[in-house]
Amino acid sequence: MQENNQENENVELDMNHLMEVRKEKLDKLREEGKDPFEITKFNRTHTSKQIVDNYAELEQKDVTVAGRLMAKRIMGKASFCHIQDSTGKIQSYVSINDLGEESYKQFKEYDIGDIIGITGFVFKTRTEEISIHAKEVTLLSKSLRPLPEKFHGLKDTDLRYRQRYVDLIVNPEVKDTFVKRTQIIKEMKNILDEKGYLEVETPVLNTISGGATAKPFITHHNTLDIDMYLRIATELNLKRLIVGGFDKVYEIGRIFRNEGMDIKHNPEFTSIELYSAYQDLSDMMELTEELITKIAEKVLGTLKITYQGVDIDLTPSWKKVTMIDAIKEVTGIDFNTIKSDEEAQNVLKELHIEMDPIKNTRGDIIAQVFDEKIEETLVQPTFVYEYPIENSPLAKKVKGKPEMTQRFELFIGGREYANAFSELNDPIDQYERFLNEIKNRENGDDEAGMMDEDYINALQIGLPPTGGMGMGIDRLVMLLTDSASIRDVLLFPTMKPLSDRQ
């Protein structure tokens, strides 16, 4: 530990020295009236990728590019450098004969990380590398802090997440993940738009926390002098729109849950929720499968992927199994034959699972056994349906099985990706379930829902039979980009302040 501290101190001393040298260079430029920060605009004609892709057309023609100086080789009166822009890297040949003595001298003073503009003609070097023969080089922004790989590389994942702007520069492959993220969302929207879904926006701040089982973030509105909740779901407002006459709606947006953080969870994340009148759970299964398979084909060009070393086949048709049968397949325990809470509690003892003092009914225990023993075994795409009513307060009951609901979750690679219901549209039943949620909250369940009188009012106006589905965008991006952690697919994940880590 002492050696590591000494190494960190030495790195910090080196960093401070180099930053001071760079600051002195900036001061000198300012004294000479060449302050790069006074430049407000630079007219580029091409990106690096455009030059490489269109070399035959651009050979020997003048271009102007701009980007970050990533490498430089000084060879007396001539030099080579590489600049990196948003599309890639390109080499430039810079010589004293083309720039003149004064400009070439300034170029040699530029540091790795500086942002520069280059004007010159396109050519190939003797090694066949497409390059720009510079006629003019302009310093556009001075980098006062050296890029971290100059010391030890940006391999510290904590630092990468905190300084994503540096991560994107030093590890260009990271950018590919976020390009794919945008493509995934774009394709998802295209599919739904073609099916007649309307994209809408609903409030982030609400006076009631509802639509999911989760602990909310609480804030305060000063003017109204009331506490408000950051939304934990978009469900109830979207179903209000179905009541209002929209047949198909969806929203892709940020959700906030005041829960634990791990490789699968971030306090704020992106989800899509969609609702379609006159459809049910089976329609949502078909749509969910179609969305993921079409997105994979569009973005990856294949339905056979590898996630963290595990081969996964997204080819339809995916397995469908009830929650009780899924438990029976793995454990041999058949909850169809277990009717009482006491019998179910004995199952927990047999499986060496600690019982939750609040959630201890047969339905609660079925869900707990599934979560702890079954979920991780579902590697290939699997729809698990018929969930206990205890953990599905917004889903319709299964006809003939009032203790179970018309709900499914999709599992791939041992993780949940989507959640769907045949939506409960009986206002009397919904009111009673809200009352039960209130009771659970009073008994210490801080994830239980609240009473939403206005939503009950909406149901009393009349919600048609409706199918609804929610999917975590971040997890889908993780799957399709083979990313181990949710932080790898969030540009700016939530991080504990450095001051709290001392």
Residue type, 432: E
In three-state secondary structure terms, 118 is: strand
Chain segment 342-391, per-residue pLDDT in tens: 999 999 999 999 998 888 999 999 999 999 999 999 999 999 999 999 99
The whole-angstrom separation of Cα 22 and Cα 110 is 9
Helix runs in 96-152, H state only: 96-99, 101-109
- Choose among 173, 171, 166, 176: nearest CA to 143: 166
468 in Cβ contact with 239 (< 8 Å): yes
State the virtual CA torsion across 342, 344, 347, 352 in degrees, nearest 10: -90
The whole-angstrom separation of Cα 255 and Cα 124 is 50
pLDDT the model gives residue 441: 86
Chain segment 174-208, per-residue pLDDT in tens: 999 999 999 999 999 999 999 999 999 999 999 99
232 in Cβ contact with 253 (< 8 Å): no
Those residues whose C-beta lies under 8 Å from the C-beta of residue 204, and which sit 6 or more positions away, are: 230, 231, 253, 254, 256
113 in Cβ contact with 82 (< 8 Å): no
Predicted confidence pLDDT, tens digits, the chain (502 residues):
444 444 455 556 688 999 999 999 999 999 999 999 999 999 999 999 999 999 999 999 999 999 999 999 999 999 999 999 999 999 999 999 999 999 999 999 999 999 999 999 999 999 999 999 999 999 999 999 998 864 445 567 888 899 999 999 988 889 999 999 999 999 999 999 999 999 999 999 999 988 888 899 999 999 999 999 999 999 999 999 999 999 999 999 999 999 889 999 999 999 999 999 999 999 999 999 999 999 999 999 999 999 999 999 999 999 999 999 999 999 999 999 999 999 999 999 999 999 988 889 999 999 999 999 999 999 999 999 999 999 999 999 999 999 999 999 999 999 999 999 999 999 999 999 999 989 988 888 888 888 999 999 999 999 999 999 999 999 999 999 999 999 999 999 999 887 765 4
pLDDT the model gives residue 15: 85
Q: How far is CA 495 from the centre of its chain?
A: 15
- Choose among 369, 386, 374, 473: nearest CA to 421: 386
pLDDT the model gives residue 415: 96
Strand partners, 275: 249, 468
* Tokens found for residue 164: 């994503």
The whole-angstrom separation of Cα 108 and Cα 114 is 12
Q: How far is CA 382 from the centre of its chain?
A: 22
Chain segment 304-340, per-residue pLDDT in tens: 999 999 999 999 999 999 999 999 999 999 999 999 9
The whole-angstrom separation of Cα 363 and Cα 445 is 16
State the virtual CA torsion across 432, 433, 436, 438 in degrees, nearest 10: -100
373 in Cβ contact with 387 (< 8 Å): no
pLDDT the model gives residue 150: 47
Spell out the domains of the chain, with CATH numbers in brackets.
Answer: 2-153 (2.40.50.140), 173-318+380-496 (3.30.930.10)
* Tokens found for residue 459: 């149901």
pLDDT the model gives residue 260: 87
Those residues whose C-beta lies under 8 Å from the C-beta of residue 498, and which sit 6 or more positions away, are: 162
Residue 123 phi, psi dihedral angles, 5° rounding: -155, 175
In three-state secondary structure terms, 252 is: strand
* Tokens found for residue 425: 């549209």
